Amino acid sequence: MTRRSVRIRQSVGAYALIAPALTLISVFIIYPFLRNFKLALYAIPPFPGLPSKWLGIHQFTTTVTSDVFLNSLQATLLYTAMVVPLGVFAGLVLAVTAHQKLRGMAIYRVIFSTTAVSSVAVAATIFGTLLNPVNGLLPWFGINVNPPFLQNTTWALPAMAIIGIWEFMGLSFLLFSAGLQSLPEEVMEAALVDGASPVRRFFRVTIPMLSPTIFYAVAVGTIAAMYTFGQMDVLIGTGSTTYTNTDTLAYLIYQSVTVQPNAGVAACISIALFGITSLITFLQFRFLERRVHYVGE
């Protein structure tokens, strides 16, 4: 066999191996993503067979400046601003505290990771019950909110955020635990020998050393939070008085695919949400990563 024919055989073999994966990626990820940019230019009737009407970029500008979109954008950003910092902070504090030679740490670790495996429907149901006005629990704690949390225009979105924080806390904890385990022990010990207080050590040593993990957790958490809509769908829905307070952009996309089918508008919102989230991630890279301290550099 010549060298050339070996190479051709190898290429054919390689393409056969990547074909299934590449086909699925093309059909279900790349094609639908790129097609958004075409759909966004048309008014598409909800029933197939009817002609689509060309609207051009006009549809995009109208959509992203509409009150509905701006309201959802505000809800999404507020939700993200509540979930990410608190979720990252809770995970960080718990991971640093659990990273000690103390009895029972293994049990705490398992407990904290529980929320990372809970589905959004389960988490929403659990908190929906705790916040249920019929439940005797909150009044017993002296918490009486009227109207009740989920029907309250002030409290509905923070309630959604509590669910988000609870869910994100587990992953955040796991990320920081892994980050701590990869740190060189000598640095932590040196700080200890220096006699630095625990609080001082936390801010002066642990946080700078963990900054790559903090950055990663913030980036991952932000993307997940920007696309949240599950608990809103389970607990609030379109008919509620607080719908407009919790109507995130991802929920808006879902609405425009099912409830009021309008593929063109849905595509515009998808592009905008993707663009805004990418911009935030880019800015985080730009301004946060500069402050990240990589061990060994």
Residues 1-20 that bind other proteins (CB under 8 A): 7, 10-11, 13-15, 17-18, 20
CA distances from 18 to 21, 25, 33, 108 (A): 6, 10, 21, 42
Choosing from 92, 156, 157, 171, the residue that interacts with other proteins (CB under 8 A) is: 171
Q: Which stretch binds other proteins (CB under 8 A): 62-70, 150-158, 256-264, 283-291?
A: 256-264
The residue among 77 and 234 lying less far from other proteins, judged by its C-beta, is 234
By CB under 8 A, tell whether 169 contacts other proteins. Answer: yes
121 binds other proteins per the rule CB under 8 A: yes
User: Is 274 among the residues that bind other proteins (CB under 8 A)?
Assistant: yes
- Give the SS3 label for residue 54: strand
Binding piece for other proteins, criterion CB under 8 A, among 80-88, 151-159, 220-228, 283-291 = 220-228
**For residues 205 and 218, what is the distance between their CA atoms, to the nearest angstrom?**
19
User: For other proteins, which is the closer residue by CB, 86 or 157?
Assistant: 86
Tokens in use for 181?
């385990």
List the structure tokens of 88.
Answer: 């990252």
Stretch that binds other proteins, among 50-58, 77-85, 268-276, 282-290 (CB under 8 A): 268-276
Neighbouring-strand partners of residue 43: 53
CA 23 and chain centroid, separation: 27
Q: Which stretch binds other proteins (CB under 8 A): 51-59, 67-75, 76-84, 229-237?
A: 229-237
Q: Is 168 in the site for other proteins (CB under 8 A)?
A: no
Residues found in the chain: 297
CB 98 within 8 A of CB 112: yes
CA distance to 228, 274, 290, per residue, from 283 (Å): 20, 14, 11
Among 66, 71, 74, 118, binds other proteins (CB under 8 A): 118
| H helix or E strand, kind and range, residue 43 | strand 42-43
The upper half-sphere exposure of residue 211, i.e. CA atoms within 13 Å in the direction of its Cβ, equals: 16
Cis peptide before 147 (omega within 30 of 0): yes
Kindly state whether residue 152 participates in binding other proteins, applying the rule CB under 8 A: no
Rule CB under 8 A: say whether 202 interacts with other proteins.
no
Selected from 111, 190, 279, 283, the binder of other proteins by CB under 8 A is 111
Structure tokens at 71: 């309201």
* Contact mark string toward other proteins, 34..53, x via CB under 8 A: -xx--x--------------
Q: Does 234 bind other proteins (CB under 8 A)?
A: yes
Kindly state the smallest distance separating residue 202's Cβ from other proteins, in Å.
11
Binding status of residue 93 toward other proteins by CB under 8 A: yes
Minimum CB distance to other proteins smaller for 56 or for 198: 198
**Interaction of residue 238 with other proteins, rule CB under 8 A:** no
Gap between the Cα atoms of 284 and 75, Å rounded: 20
Report the DSSP pairing between strands 42-43 and 53-54.
Answer: antiparallel
